Amino acid sequence: MKILILGAGKMGTFFCDLLSPHHSVAVYDPNPDSLRFTYGVERFSSLDDVAAFQPELVINAATVKYTLKAFREVLSHVPESCILSDIASVKNGLPEFYASCGHPYASSHPMFGPTFASLSNLANENAIIISEGDHLGRIFFKDLYSRLGLNVVEYTFEQHDATIAYSLSIPFASTLVFASIMRHQDAPGTTFKRHMAIAHGLMGEDDYLLSEILFNPNTPEQLERIQQQLSRLRRIVSDRDSAAMHRYLAEVRDNLR
């Protein structure tokens, strides 16, 4: 298959390395400097090259801020039969775009961002495939993610957004609160250092990505749950209520099973 990848960032180059042994792969990035780190694929910085390549599948690996812009930039330079696909963690605007673009599409979310996951060992990671869209496109990504050993689930766009509000908004918000009250420690403990490593990794992400994930319409409900549990914990601690603390810790352990 002839596959065009949009964006030569970390995920774009990952998909280049993953797909190039089995497919004819090209990567397009308007910044020629970004293409220096891609190997074994055709490298395009011109839309004329994209048109000449005639891809059968486009994988949009541009950052969330530029996902829709990247699609619109190449839309008139790929065949009408070409399947458009994205791997975005935030799907804002994508259902509407796909409904009007005139192309078959497949949307997925490999939930192993390069900040925390080891891209060479993904056996314990997950991927979401959007159940709407082109059947062949969904099969392609399901087979691809299964070969990586990922746990693959199918959700609608709506279900995806609700899941992301739970699985990303809660840890993101909790980490932001943790980091916002931190100060330097000369002798940090192991738990503190682990939390700080997570915080540093999170703050290395793009501000737009963090904002869009937290602006998910399902996030306020999750933040309210966090506030309720903090208020409950504060009452228990203020009252030095050992029985309530034991009940609270038992509930937390049950949640982790």
Q: Supply the DSSP symbol for 168.
A: I
**pLDDT band for position 164 (50/70/90)?**
confident
Q: Report which residue type is found at 190.
A: T
Rounded distance, CA 132 to CA 129, Å?
9
pLDDT in the model for residue 186: 79
Write the pLDDT tens digit of every residue in 64-95: 889 999 999 999 999 999 999 999 988 989 99
The chain-wide mean pLDDT, for the chain, equals 91
Condensed to tens digits (0 to 9), the pLDDT of residues 23-77 reads 999 999 998 888 888 888 999 999 999 999 999 999 999 988 899 999 999 999 9
Average pLDDT over residues 159-180: 89
Report whether 99 contacts 126 (CB < 8 A). Answer: no
* Cβ atoms of residues 27 and 50 within 8 Å: no
Q: pLDDT at residue 18 above 60? A: yes
pLDDT at 251 exceeding the cut of 90: yes
The confidence score (pLDDT) of residue 64 equals 84
pLDDT (0 to 100) of residue 118? 55
* pLDDT confidence bin for 119, thresholds 50/70/90: low
d(CA 205, CA 93): 21
- Phi/psi for 151 (5° steps) reads -80, 120
Tens digits of residue pLDDT in 209-233: 788 888 888 889 889 999 999 999 9
Rounded to an integer, the average pLDDT of 139-143 is: 97
What's the token pair of residue 191? 């738990």
- With residues binned 3-state (H G I as helix, E B as strand, rest as coil), the percentages for the chain, rounded to 5, are 55, 15, 30
